[in-house]
Amino acid sequence: MSISENDRAELVALARKAVTTTVKGEPLPCAAGYSGILAEKRGCFVTITNQGRLRGCIGTFHPQAPLGRTILEMGQSAAHDPRFILDPITPKELPELTIEVSILSPLEKTNAPEKLQVGVHGIYVICRGRGGCFLPEVATDQGWDAVEFLNYCCAHKAGLPADAWRNPNAEVYLFTSEKFHA
């Protein structure tokens, strides 16, 4: 994948601008005239932390717009992550925030999810109309092996039984990501 340093800086700047304007109640910046990777339709996530504490994380696997626009939209959504509705990001916090961008590879369906490479692959599990995902770094951050990674995704992200990924009707997709922050 290998995203240039200039593109990385621009993507993080776009995400930060989206978070800042959203928290301040200002309109989202206009998005136009993108070229290179910023013009591609790529899945992405924007993660917001404050001194290591998660404040928001939203992304998409199926973008409808160029990456530059999608980053703005995901930054806006991450600033209003529903998990933090009772503890929203405040304008005072803005200088303390770390904004991380993850650019995703295309999803690849697997029939052997337990063989995923921990720390390399992220997962997206769909079963019974419910779905959940984890970025690749979650397993290593938590010290999970592949089966624990899959189980936690099902139980805690998709609201399914922990072993739902083993269900013959379940679909498990793997992806990689390139992440960077500022």
- Superfamily holding 5-104: Hypothetical protein ph0010; domain 1 (3.30.700.20)
Say yes or no to pLDDT of 124 above 80: yes
Q: Tell me the per-residue pLDDT of 101-117, one tens digit each, with 9 for 90 and over.
A: 999 999 999 999 999 99
pLDDT-derived band at 132 (thresholds 50, 70, 90) equals very high
Cβ contacts of 119 within 8 Å, gap of 6 or more: 136, 137, 139, 140
Residue 99 in tokens: 């904004």
pLDDT digits (tens, 9 = 90+) for 34-66: 888 999 999 999 999 999 999 999 999 999 999
Q: What's the confidence (pLDDT) of residue 35?
A: 87
Cβ burial, residue 5 (10 Å; 0-12/13-18/19+): exposed
User: Residue 182 has what pLDDT?
Assistant: 74
| Chain centre distance of CA 66 | 16
Q: State the pTM of this model.
A: 0.89
Q: Which residue ranges make up each domain of the chain?
A: 5-104, 108-177
pLDDT score recorded for residue 74: 97
Q: Which is the CATH superfamily of the domain at 108-177?
A: Hypothetical protein ph0010; domain 2 (3.30.1490.150)
Q: Identify the pLDDT of residue 1.
A: 57
Residues 6+ apart with CB under 8 A from 182: 9, 12, 13, 16, 98, 99
**C-beta of residue 89 within 8 angstroms of C-beta of residue 19:** yes
